Each structure stands twice: as structure tokens, then as C-alpha cells.
């Protein structure tokens, strides 16, 4: 496999581009440039491949390339923003499929390889195949084609059994070279089924983590097949994605507070999809709050007694200044009875140096929540409790409230599940557009500031 320098060079350049592209994508400021750089890498690598001397079936290759990319491009360009995750899933599955197919061709060819190569080919095929069918299921679930989480009897045992079987067949394939067709076929079949069976019982809410996991899998599969084909660009791209994807999966699982093993082996509810999540307070991290606000146009901050208790006013104002530097419009909405004395919030905001022209009272600002991207509720509770509007039995019924619930996203900073002065539960915290940042308001604001600064 001595290839001309320009082919090797193109692949090398591709690998470089991928690395820098991925690096770009890991920060909001350069993310968009990152994907473009990676795109150039892909073009370079593909172009170089066409230049391999003696490449056969160029027509077929071109057709396949055209067909695959056209279909994917069009579907990807049309799909609604909210349907993106399943598109990622299906494209990822295709990558896994491709990796498996490459291994399949190698087996069909029957070239003899050394042990390591065969082993990696088989491993890549296994992982690729699982990722393929698994991703398809993930897509089907998110797309709503498959509505129920199908849980087979003794699911976990079945999973383990199937996995063992597949691995055994794979081992056999490796050992009994040259490959025996029945064995290989059985191996592929089992691997594909494994992907199906493992993914079927997983609920829709957990899917993003699973997709990320399959994404890392596909990366590994690609890396392994790269070894088989002797192509370092594939190895690097695949392994970088494999490593990055693994870490990403962990980060996502952590952000959702669901250990990965839990997702794969102990599905949340036998029959439930994501319904169980409704009616829960959804937690969010400071970094996300920072990013959400940093890339918003309009933010309204609703301070309450908790801000006073935490003495968070200085931090909150610093955060505001950072947001304004980034071009975000920030306003403070003061409820008439926020805090524990008339003008409590005014005292604090004045102390922090918030200019009066950023402070609005209920009548002035209530109409603006509907246009706000984020309502950041800091240690307030009763004053944003929608029960006051509708629930006649509530002790706070009839009190005018700030319409924080009308904002696109509501973030509530509080220490825990404590209720406010009136002691009533707040339905806002459970609503779909609301997420909770748990912690004392001062350190939380500090964390948000830190992340805002990191975003430049």
C-alpha cells in the first residue's frame, strides 16, 4: 500500500482540518468556523481518495457519493430544528453501517491479514453494526415512528446473552481465518440484532445520551477500519471522535443526572417514554444558564428575597454588565412585594450600583415577558407564582404577579425545594419552559459570570 504523496498529503491535511475543526466547535465563539474547517477537511480527504492510482469503479463511487449525500443533504436542510436529534441519529447510524460494510467487504475479499488487523476489523464491524441498528431505532423513537418503549422479558439477561453470542462469533471469525461465510453472516446478523434489542427498551428522554454513545461507537468503528485499510486519517478522525464522543456522552449523562449504565440497563419505566419527566423540576447547570443568556436577545431578571438572603446583588449586576457587553438587553423586573419590606430590592440594587433606568416595576414590564428569551428568577418565588392568577384557593390568589412564565425560557435560581413566604408550591417550577439552577444565589451568579467570561 504505497500511495503517492498527494494522496497521503490530502489525507493528512484532512486529519489536521478535522482536529482544528473539532477544536473550533468546542467553543461557542468559534463553533461555526469549526464545522466549516472540518467540512474542508472532508472535501480534501475525498478529493485525495479519487486520486489513488488505479482506483476502480469510479463511476459507481461517484453515483454512490452523489446519491448518499444528496438524499442526506436535502433531508438535513429541510428538517425542523426540533427534529435535529433524530437526524443526527440516523446519519450516525449510516456511518456505523458504512464501517460495518467495509469490514464485510474485507471478509468477502478473503484477503489474509495478521491477527491484530482481523481482530480490529471484526471489532469495528461489531461496533459499527450495533451503532447502525441502534441508531435507526433511536431515530424511529424520536421521530415518533416507534411510539412505545418495547421492553422484552428478562431484557438485561437477553442483552448480555446476545452480546456474548456476538462476541463469540466474532472471536471465531478472527480465529478461523480465512473467514467462513456462514460464520461471518451469522456474526453480522447477531450484531445487528444486538443493536436493535439493546436500544428498543430505552425511553425517548434518554435518547440523546444514547445517540451520543452510538456516535462515539461509530467513531471507534471508523478508527478500527482505518487500521484495517491502513489509512491514518480514518484512524485519527475515528479515534478523536471516539474519545471526544465518550467524554461527551459522560458529560451529557451527568447533565441529565443519569448514569450511562442506568440508561442502558435499567430503563426508567417499563412502559413510559418521557412522560415521567413531566411534572418534575428540571435541573440546569450554570454554564448552560450562561450560554442561554449570552446568546439571547432579551433577558429579564426577577430578583426576590433569596437574592437578599444570599447578598448576591453585586454578582447579579456584574453578570448583567457582562451580558450587556455581549449585546444582550437586560432589564430588572421588581415586583411590588419582592423581599420582606417595601423597596427591599431597590435597596440592594442601589447598593450594587444598578442604574435606575434598568429597573422596571410590574406594570411597566409585565407585557415584555412574552418577548423575552430568558427570565432569570433569582431567589424569588411567590412573586412569580402563576397560582396567584388562577387558583382561587391559594393564599396568594389575587396578588398581581410578574409574568415570568411567559418568557421563552425561565431559569430559577434557588437553593432547593424551599417554598416562599406564603408557603405555597409554585407550579412555574414544573412547567415545560422552566429549569432550575439549584444553589445559593451568590456562588451561582458567580459561576454564571465565570462561564460568561469564558465565552468572551
Partner 1 sequence: MPLTIAVARERAPGEKRVALSPESARRFKDLGAELRIEAGAGLSSHFVDADYADVASAHSLEETYAGADVILRVSPPSPEEIAAMPVGSVLIGLLRPFELPARLDALNGRRITAFALELLPRISRAQSMDVLSSQGACAGYQSGLIAAARCAKFFPMLTTASGTVRPARVLVIGAGVAGLQAIATCRRLGAAVEAYDVRAAAREQIESLGAKFVDTGVQADGAGGYARDLSAVEKLQQAERLARAVAAADVVITTAAVPGKAAPVIVTEEMVAQMRHGALIVDLAAETGGNCALTQPGEHVDVGGVHIHGPLHLASRMPTHASDLYARNLYNFLSPWVREGQLAFDGADEILAGALLCRDGSTVHPLVKHVLGEA
Partner 2 sequence: MDPVLTLYIFMLAAVAGFEIIARVPVILHTPLMSGSNFIHGVVVVGAMIVLGSADSMLEKAIGFFAVALGAANAAGGYVVTERMLAMFRSKGEGK
Ligand X SMILES: NC(=O)c1ccc[n+]([C@@H]2O[C@H](COP(=O)([O-])OP(=O)(O)OC[C@H]3O[C@@H](n4cnc5c(N)ncnc54)[C@H](OP(=O)(O)O)[C@@H]3O)[C@@H](O)[C@H]2O)c1
Ligand Y SMILES: NC(=O)c1ccc[n+]([C@@H]2O[C@H](COP(=O)([O-])OP(=O)(O)OC[C@H]3O[C@@H](n4cnc5c(N)ncnc54)[C@H](O)[C@@H]3O)[C@@H](O)[C@H]2O)c1
341 lines the binding site for partner 1 (CB under 8 A): yes
Residue from 113, 151, 282, 314 that binds its own copies (CB under 8 A)?
Answer: 314
SS3 334: strand
**Which residue, 122 or 401, is less far from ligand X as judged by CB?**
401
Question: Rounded distance, CA 359 to CA 402, Å?
Answer: 14
Q: Among residues 152, 150, 173, which one has the least CA distance to residue 161?
A: 152
| Residue 344's binding partner out of ligand X, ligand Y, partner 2, none, with CB under 5 to 8 Å set by partner kind | ligand X
334 lines the binding site for partner 1 (CB under 8 A): yes
Bridge partners of 438? Answer: 414
- Cα 434 to the center of its chain, rounded Å: 18
Residue from 141, 294, 298, 315 that binds its own copies (CB under 8 A)?
Answer: 315
What backbone torsions phi and psi does residue 409 show, to the nearest 5 degrees?
-125, 135
| Residue 28's binding partner out of ligand X, partner 2, partner 1, none, with CB under 5 to 8 Å set by partner kind | partner 2
Contact assessment for residue 332 and residue 301, using Cβ atoms and an 8 Å cutoff = yes
**230-257: b or e for each residue (b if 16 or more CB lie within 10 Å)?**
ebebbbbbbbbbbebbbebbbebbeebe
109 lines the binding site for partner 2 (CB under 8 A): yes
| Residue 305's binding partner out of ligand Y, partner 2, ligand X, none, with CB under 5 to 8 Å set by partner kind | ligand X
Min dist. Cβ of residue 372 to partner 2 (A) = 16
Question: Rounded distance, CA 177 to CA 171, Å?
Answer: 10
| Residue 294's binding partner out of partner 1, ligand X, its own copies, none, with CB under 5 to 8 Å set by partner kind | none
Question: Rounded distance, CA 89 to CA 263, Å?
Answer: 17
Residue from 386, 440, 454, 455 that binds ligand X (CB under 6 A)?
Answer: 440
Contact assessment for residue 235 and residue 298, using Cβ atoms and an 8 Å cutoff = no
305 lines the binding site for ligand X (CB under 6 A): yes
Please report, for residues 125, 129, 140, 158, 189, the alpha-carbon distance to residue 219 in angstroms, rounded to integers and kept in the order given: 12, 12, 22, 26, 21
178's grid cell? 480465512
| Residue 450's binding partner out of its own copies, ligand X, ligand Y, none, with CB under 5 to 8 Å set by partner kind | its own copies
173 lines the binding site for partner 2 (CB under 8 A): no
> Containing H/E element for 94?
helix 84-109
| Residue 29's binding partner out of partner 1, ligand Y, partner 2, none, with CB under 5 to 8 Å set by partner kind | partner 2
Residue from 254, 340, 417, 453 that binds ligand Y (CB under 6 A)?
Answer: 340
Which sequence positions are flagged as catalytic? Answer: 382
- Segment interacting with partner 1 (CB under 8 A) among 56-64, 111-119, 121-129, 353-361: 353-361
**Which residue, 283 or 351, is less far from its own copies as judged by CB?**
351
Residue count at the site for partner 2 (CB under 8 A)? 120
DSSP 267: -
| Residue 353's binding partner out of its own copies, ligand X, partner 2, none, with CB under 5 to 8 Å set by partner kind | its own copies
**Which residue, 357 or 363, is less far from its own copies as judged by CB?**
357
**Which residue, 263 or 316, is less far from its own copies as judged by CB?**
316
Q: Among residues 218, 184, 295, 206, which one has the least CA distance to residue 253?
A: 206
- Starting at the edge strand found earlier in the chain, the sheet holding 329-334 runs 359-361, 329-334, 298-303, 374-378, 409-414, 434-438
Residue from 4, 6, 31, 180 that binds partner 2 (CB under 8 A)?
Answer: 31
Mask 373-392, x = binds partner 1 (CB under 8 A)?
Answer: ---------x-----x----
Question: Rounded distance, CA 319 to CA 437, Å?
Answer: 15
Residues from 351 through 380 that contact ligand X (CB under 6 A): 379-380
326 lines the binding site for partner 2 (CB under 8 A): yes
Closest residue to ligand Y, Cβ-based? 340
What backbone torsions phi and psi does residue 423 show, to the nearest 5 degrees?
75, 10
Q: Among residues 114, 308, 312, which one has the least CA distance to residue 227?
A: 114
338 lines the binding site for ligand X (CB under 6 A): yes
Residue from 353, 355, 418, 423 that binds its own copies (CB under 8 A)?
Answer: 353
> Which residues are near partner 1 by CB under 8 A?
305, 308-309, 311, 334-347, 350-351, 353, 356, 359, 361-362, 382, 388, 395-400, 422
> Which residues are near ligand Y by CB under 6 A?
337, 340
Amino acid at each position: 500500500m504505497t500511495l503517492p504523496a498527494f494522496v497521503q498529503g490530502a489525507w493528512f491535511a484532512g486529519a489536521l482540518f478535522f482536529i482544528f475543526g473539532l477544536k473550533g466547535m468546542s467553543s461557542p465563539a468559534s463553533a461555526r468556523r469549526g464545522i466549516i474547517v472540518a467540512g474542508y477537511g472532508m472535501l480534501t480527504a475525498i478529493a485525495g481518495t479519487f486520486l489513488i492510482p488505479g482506483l476502480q469503479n469510479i463511476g459507481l463511487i461517484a453515483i454512490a457519493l452523489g446519491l448518499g449525500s444528496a438524499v442526506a443533504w436535502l433531508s438535513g436542510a429541510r428538517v425542523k430544528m426540533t427534529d435535529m436529534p433524530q437526524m443526527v441519529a440516523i446519519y450516525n447510524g449510516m456511518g456505523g453501517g458504512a464501517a460495518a460494510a467495509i469490514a464485510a467487504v474485507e471478509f468477502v475479499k478473503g484477503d489474509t491479514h495478521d491477527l491484530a488487523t482481523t481482530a480490529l476489523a471484526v471489532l469495528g464491524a461489531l461496533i459499527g453494526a450495533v451503532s447502525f441498528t441502534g441508531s435507526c431505532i433511536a431515530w424511529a423513537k424520536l421521530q415518533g415512528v416507534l411510539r412505545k418503549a418495547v421492553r422484552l422479558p428478562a431484557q438485561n439477561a437477553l442483552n448480555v446473552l446476545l452480546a456474548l453470542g456476538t462476541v463469540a462469533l466474532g472471536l471465531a471469525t478472527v480465529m478461523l481465518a480465512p473467514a467462513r461465510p456462514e460464520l461471518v453472516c451469522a456474526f453480522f446478523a447477531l450484531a445487528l440484532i444486538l443493536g436493535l434489542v439493546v436500544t428498543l427498551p430505552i425511553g425517548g428522554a434518554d435518547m440523546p445520551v444514547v445517540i451520543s454513545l452510538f456516535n462515539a461507537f461509530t467513531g471507534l468503528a471508523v478508527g478500527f477500519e482505518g487500521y484495517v485499510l491502513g489509512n491514518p486519517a480514518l484512524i485519527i478522525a475515528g479515534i478523536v471522535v471516539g474519545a471526544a464522543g465518550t467524554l461527551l456522552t459522560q458529560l451529557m449523562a451527568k447533565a441529565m443526572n443519569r448514569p450511562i449504565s442506568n440508561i442502558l440497563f435499567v430503563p426508567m419505566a417499563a412502559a413510559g417514554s418521557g412522560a415521567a419527566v413531566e411534572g418534575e423540576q428540571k435541573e440546569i447547570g450554570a454554564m448552560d444558564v450562561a450560554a442561554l443568556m449570552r446568546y439571547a436577545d432579551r433577558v429579564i431578571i426577577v430578583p426576590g428575597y433569596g437574592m437578599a438572603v444570599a447578598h448576591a446583588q453585586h454578582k447579579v449586576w456584574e453578570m448583567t454588565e457582562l451580558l450587556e457587553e455581549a449585546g444582550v438587553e437586560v432589564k430588572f423586573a421588581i415586583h411590588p412585594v419582592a423581599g420582606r419590606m417595601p423597596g427591599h430590592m431597590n435597596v440592594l440594587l442601589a447598593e450594587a450600583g444598578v442604574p435606575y433606568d434598568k429597573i422596571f416595576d410590574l406594570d411597566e414590564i409585565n407585557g415584555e415577558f412574552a418577548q423575552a428569551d430568558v427570565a432569570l428568577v433569582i431567589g424569588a418565588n411567590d412573586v412569580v407564582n402563576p397560582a396567584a392568577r388562577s387558583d382561587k384557593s391559594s393564599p396568594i390568589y389575587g396578588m398581581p404577579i410578574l409574568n415570568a412564565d411567559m418568557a421563552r425560557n425561565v431559569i430559577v435560581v434557588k437553593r432547593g425545594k424551599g417554598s416562599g413566604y406564603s408557603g405555597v408550591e409554585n407550579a412555574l417550577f414544573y412547567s415545560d419552559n422552566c429549569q432550575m439552577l439549584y444553589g445559593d444565589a451568590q456562588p451561582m451568579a458567580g459561576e454564571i459570570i465565570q462561564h460568561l467570561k469564558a465565552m468572551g
